Amino acid sequence: MERTLIIVKPEGVQRGLIGQVIARFEQKGLKVVGLKLMQIPREMAERHYAEHAGKAFYEGLVGHITSSPVVVGVLEGPEAVSVARTMMGVTNPKAAAPGTIRGDYGIDIGLNIVHGSDGAESAQREIGIFFAPAELVSYERAGDRWVAGE
């Protein structure tokens, strides 16, 4: 099973979309193994966006993600990274397909509702920024075999 990090960004929290976003992932069959509401401190945001340091949009990213509470979560399932990214849609909501989270709820690239890890390695790194190992829970759901064909 693969794990990925998702963040319901400030605009998702402020617009009351936490439940809808998390529900979509659960309804798809991904399992929530970590979840918390938090205000991201600047230092943590800088570690999260370290790959963008020095780029023109970096300060805007850090400023935005620290501007309001967010919900961070860890999802688990077969190919969780690619499944979550497909469900989110492309980064620019104007180009995101209807039926995706960004396509249904976003309008502006800077307010695109949700973040998701872009690969297995970045997922591990990002999960380590936001969650201690003890904050992640492993458990079996009765319906898991009906999702992954186990």
48-99 pLDDT tens trace: 999 999 999 999 999 999 999 999 999 999 999 999 999 999 999 999 999 9
Q: Is 89 part of a structural domain of the chain?
A: yes
Domain count, the chain: 1
Active site annotation includes 115: yes
In this structure, what DSSP letter does residue 68 have?
S
* Catalytic hit among 48, 52, 64, 115: 115
Domain housing 100: 2-139
Q: Is 47 part of a structural domain of the chain?
A: yes
pLDDT at 150 over 70: no
Q: What is the pLDDT of residues 5-20, one digit of tens each?
A: 999 999 999 999 999 9
Q: Is 14 part of a structural domain of the chain?
A: yes
pTM for the full predicted model: 0.94
Q: Is 7 part of a structural domain of the chain?
A: yes
- Residue-averaged pLDDT of the chain: 96
Q: Is 146 part of a structural domain of the chain?
A: no
Q: What is the CATH number of the domain that holds 7?
A: 3.30.70.141
B/e letters for 34-67, b = 16+ CB within 10 Å, e = fewer, are: bbeeeebeeebbbebbeeeeeeeeeeebbebbbe
